[in-house]
Structure 1
Amino acid sequence: MLKQIYRILILIGVFIVSLYYFSKDIKEVVFDFDNTTIMEETTFPLITLRTEGVIVNRLHGYSSNLNANTVREALTPIGADGTFEVIIDEKAYEIKKLNFEVREFVGNELIEKGSVSVFDEENNLKTAKIRIGSELENDKEYAVKITLITSESRKIYFYNRIKKYDGANLAQKVNFVMEFHEAIKDKSKAEEYAIYLEPDRKKDNTTLANVNIHSGFDLITWGNLNPEFITEVIPTVVENYSDIASFVLEYVVKSEVSGVPEFYKVKEYYRIRYTPSRMYLLNYERRMEAFFDIKLASTSVSQLKLGITSDTDIPYMVSDDKKKVAFVRNRELWYYDLEINQIVRVFSFRQENTDYIRDIFDQHDIRILNIDPEGNVNFMVYGYMNRGQYEGRVAVVLYEFIRADRRIEEKVYIPVDEPYQKLKENMGEFAYVNSMDVFYFHLYDSIYAYDLITRHLTVLAENVDKDHVLTFYKEGYVVWQEAEGPGKTKDIKIMDIETGEIQTIESRQGYKIILLDKIDSNLIYGFVPEDEITTLIDGTVIVPMTGIEICTTQKEVLKTYYKDGYYITGVEVKDNIISLYRAQKETIGGQNIYLNVSDDYIMNQSVESTPFIKVVPRISEEALTEYYIQLPSGFTMDKLPETVTTVNTIISEDPTVRLPKDIRNSGKDEEEKKDQMKFYAFIMGELQEAYDEAADAIIAADEGAGVVLSSVNHLVWERGVKANKSVLSQVESLNIPADQNTVESCIKILARYLGKNIDNENLDTRRISAYEILSKYTDKVPIRLTGISLDQALYYVSKGRPVIAMTGYSEAVLIYGYDSLNIYVIDPKQGKTVRMPLQSGSELFEKAGNVFISYLE
Structure 2
Amino acid sequence: MSRLKKKAGILLCVFIAAIAVYFVLTQNILNREDERVYVSMEEATLPVVHTETMGREMNPLCGYVQDMTGAADSLTILPQDRVLPVVISGYAGEVSGIRYEIRSLDQQQLVERTTVNTWENGEDGVRAELPVQNLISQDKQYQLCLYVGLDDGREARYYTRILWTQDTKAQEMVDLAADFSEKTFDYEAARELTTYLEPSQSADNTTLGHVTLQSEFDQITWGGLDIQPVGEKRLTLKQLDGIMGNVELTYMAAESGSVDRIYEVTENFTMKWDSQRIYMMSYDRTMNEVFSGGGDEVSGKRILLGISTDDAISVKKSQNGKYRAFVSSRDLWRYEWDGSRPYLVRLFSFRGEDRTELRNNYNRHDIRVLNVDDSGNVDFLVYGYMNRGVHEGAVGAAFYRYQEEKGILEERFFFPASKPYEELAMDISRLAKLGANGMFYVYLDGAVYAVDLNSNEYLVTASGLTEGTWAVSQDQSRLAWQDGPDRYGAETIHLMNLETGTRQDIHARDGEVLRALGFVENDFIYGMAEQNGQWMSGNRVIGLPVYGLKIVDDNLNVETEYGKEGLYVSGVRVTEGRVHLEQLAKTGANSYQKAGEDIIVCNVEVGVPKLEGIGWYASEDRKKLYFVQLDTEVKAGSRVRVSAPRNVAYDVSDTLDLKSGGRKAETVYRAYGNGKLLQVTDGLAEAVAACYDAMGYVTDESGRIVWNRVTRPNMRTIREWDTLAGRILGQLATFSEDGEYGTGFWLMDGRGLTLQQALYYVGMGCPAAALGPDGSCELIIGYDQYNVTIQDPATGTSRKMGLQDAGTYFASRGNDFVCGLFTE
Name the structure 1 match of 2:392: 391
- Structure 1 residues 727, 485: closer, same or farther in 2, change over 3 A? farther
- Is the contact between residue 428 and residue 443 of structure 1 (CA under 8 Å) also seen in structure 2? no
Of the three residues 818, 821, 824, the one matched with 1:853 is 818
Q: Deviations over 1:402-458 (max 9, x none)?
A: 111121211111111121122222335333445664333221121222334444332
Equivalent AA in structure 2 for residue 563 of structure 1: K
Of 43, 53, 56, 1:54 maps to: 56
Q: 1:514 to 1:315 in 2, by over 3 A?
A: farther
Alpha-carbon spacing, 1:104–1:403, altered in 2? closer, same or farther (3 Å): same
Q: Distance in 2 between matches of 1:47 and 1:704?
A: 30
Query: Which one is further off, 211-220 or 484-493?
Result: 484-493
**CA offsets 1:794-839 (integer angstroms, 9 cap, x no match):** 3223444443222453111244555666656653311x36363463
Map of 1:196-345 to 2, 5 A cutoff? Answer: 196-241=196-241, 243-255=243-255, 261-295=260-294, 297-311=296-310, 314-339=313-338, 341-345=342-346
Return the match for 1:689 from 679, 690, 696. Answer: 679
Q: Distance in 2 between matches of 1:80 and 1:608?
A: 58
* Secondary structure of the structure 1 residue equivalent to 2:188: helix
- The letter for the 2-side match of 1:105 is L
- How far residue 267 of structure 1 moved from its aligned partner, in angstroms, is 0.9
Q: Are residue 716 (structure 1) and residue 706 (structure 2) matched?
A: yes
Q: Distance in 1 between matches of 2:476 and 2:487?
A: 30
What is the CA–CA distance in structure 1 between the aligned matches of 2:283 and 2:476, rounded to whole Å? 46
TM, length-normalised to structure 1: 0.84
Which ranges in structure 2 are unaligned for 5 or more consecutive residues? 1-37
CA shift for structure 1 position 663: 3.4
Aligned residues of 2:232 and 2:356 also touching (Cα < 8 A): no
Aligned to 1:786: 751
Classify 1:853/1:466 alpha carbon distance in 2 versus 1 (closer, same or farther; 3 Å).
closer
Amino acid at match of 1:47: V
SS state of the match for residue 114, structure 2?
strand
Structure 1 699/347 Cα, relative in aligned 2: closer, same or farther at 3 Å? same
Contact kept in structure 2, 1:167 and 1:242, CA below 8 Å: no
- Distance (Å, rounded) in 1 between the aligned partners of 2:39 and 2:313: 29
Matched, 1:362 2:340: no
Structure 1 segment 580-729 matched on structure 2, within 5 A: 580-587=581-588, 591-606=590-605, 614-632=613-631, 639-652=638-651, 655-660=654-659, 662-665=661-664, 673-674=665-666, 677-724=667-714, 726=716
> For 1:579 and 1:815, how far apart are their aligned partners in 2?
33
State the distance in 2 between where 1:329 and 1:749 align.
53
User: 1:660-693 CA distances to partner (integer Å, 9 max, x unpaired)?
Assistant: 373344xxxxxxx43xx23211112221222342
Summarize the Cα distance change of 1:96–1:574 in structure 2 as closer, same or farther, 3 Å threshold: same
- Structure 1 Cα separation of the partners of residues 474 and 103 of structure 2: 45
What is the CA deviation profile of residues 100-122 of structure 1, one whole-angstrom value per residue up to 9, with x for unaligned ones?
A: 11111124311112122322444
Rounded to whole Å, the distance in 2 between the matches of 1:787 and 1:438 is 40
What does residue 527 of structure 2 align with? 526
Distance 2:560 2:548 in 1: 11
Shift of 1:611: 10
The alpha-carbon deviation at position 497 of structure 1 amounts to 3.7
For the structure 1 residues 823 and 612, does the alpha-carbon distance in structure 2 shift closer, same or farther, using more than 3 Å as the test?
A: closer
Q: Is the CA contact (8 Å cut-off) linking 1:822 and 1:835 kept in structure 2?
A: no
Other-structure match for 1:750 = 728
Does the 8 Å contact 1:256/1:262 carry over to 2? no
SS of 1:292's partner is coil
In structure 2, the CA distance between the partners of 1:206 and 1:749, relative to structure 1 (3 Å rule), is closer
Q: What's the counterpart of residue 4 of structure 1?
A: none
Q: Which moved more, 1:618-627 or 1:798-807?
A: 798-807
1:781, CA displacement in angstroms?
5.3
Distance 1:276 1:126, change over 3 A: farther
> What do residues 79-107 of structure 1 show as CA deviations (whole Å, max 9, x unaligned)?
54333221221432322332111111124
Q: Is the 8 A contact 1:732 1:833 kept in 2?
A: no
CA contact (8 A) 1:618 1:626 kept: yes
Number of residue equivalences: 782
Matched residues in 2 for 1:749 and 1:240: separation? 29
Q: Which amino acid aligns with 1:599?
A: D
Contact 1:771–1:853 under 8 Å retained in 2:
no
Cross-structure match for 1:84: 84
Whole-angstrom distance in 1 between the partners of 2:243 and 2:507: 57
Counterpart Cα distance in 2 of 1:242 and 1:688: 22
Distance 1:770 1:116, change over 3 A: same
Once the two structures are superposed, what CA deviation does each residue of 1:128-167 show, in whole Å capped at 9, x if it has no partner? 2223223433332211111111234421111111122212
In 2, Cα distance between equivalents of 1:679 and 1:527? 29
Farther off after superposition, 48-57 or 200-209: 200-209
- Secondary structure of 1:705's counterpart equals coil
Q: Is the partner of 1:795 in helix, strand or coil?
A: helix
**CA distance in 2: counterparts of 1:612 and 1:161, whole angstroms:** 38
2:431–2:476 contact (8 Å) kept in structure 1: no
Would you say 1:127 and 2:117 are equivalent positions? no
Provide the residue aligned with 2:778 in structure 1: 813
Letter in 2 for 1:788: L
**Where do 1:95-110 residues align within 5 Å?**
95-110=95-110
Amino acid at match of 1:851: D
Instruction: Report if the CA contact (8 A) 2:101-2:111 is conserved.
Output: yes
Q: Which residue of 1 aligns with 2:25?
A: none
How far has the Cα of 1:485 moved from its partner? 4.8
- Structure 2 equivalent of residue 33 of structure 1: none
How far apart are residue 236 of structure 1 and its match?
0.9
Q: Which residue of 2 aligns with 1:669?
A: none
- Change in 2 beyond 3 A, CA 1:597/1:191: closer
Distance 1:425 1:617 in 2: 27
Match of 1:708, as an amino acid? Answer: V
SS at match of 1:703: coil
Indicate the residue corresponding to 1:509 in structure 2.
Answer: 510
The separation in 2 between residues aligned to 1:134 and 1:388, in whole angstroms, is 40
Unaligned runs of 5+ in 1: 1-35, 666-672, 735-745, 753-757
1:93 match: secondary structure: coil
> Which letter does structure 1 place at the counterpart of 2:747?
P
Worse-superposed segment, 435-444 or 568-577: 435-444
Measure, in 1, the Cα distance between the counterparts of 2:296 and 2:516: 45
Letter in 1 for 2:84: F
Change (3 A) 1:107 1:207: same
Cα shift at 1:307: 0.8
CA apart distance, 1:562: 2.1
Q: Out of 774, 781, 798, which is 1:834 matched to?
A: 798
Q: What's the CA shift for 1:610? A: 10
Query: Relative to 1, partners in 2 of residues 1:605 and 1:183: Cα closer, same or farther, differing over 3 Å?
Result: closer
Where relative contact order (Cα < 8 A, 6+ residues apart) is larger, the structure is 2
Opposite residue 621 of structure 1, the aligned amino acid is: E
Q: SS at 1:532's partner residue?
A: coil
1:584 Cα deviation from its structure 2 partner: 2.1
Equivalent position amino acid for 1:389 in 2: V
The worse-fitting range, judged by mean Cα deviation, of 433-442 and 443-452 is 433-442
Q: Secondary structure of 1:422's match?
A: helix
Q: Per-residue deviation at 1:292?
A: 1.7
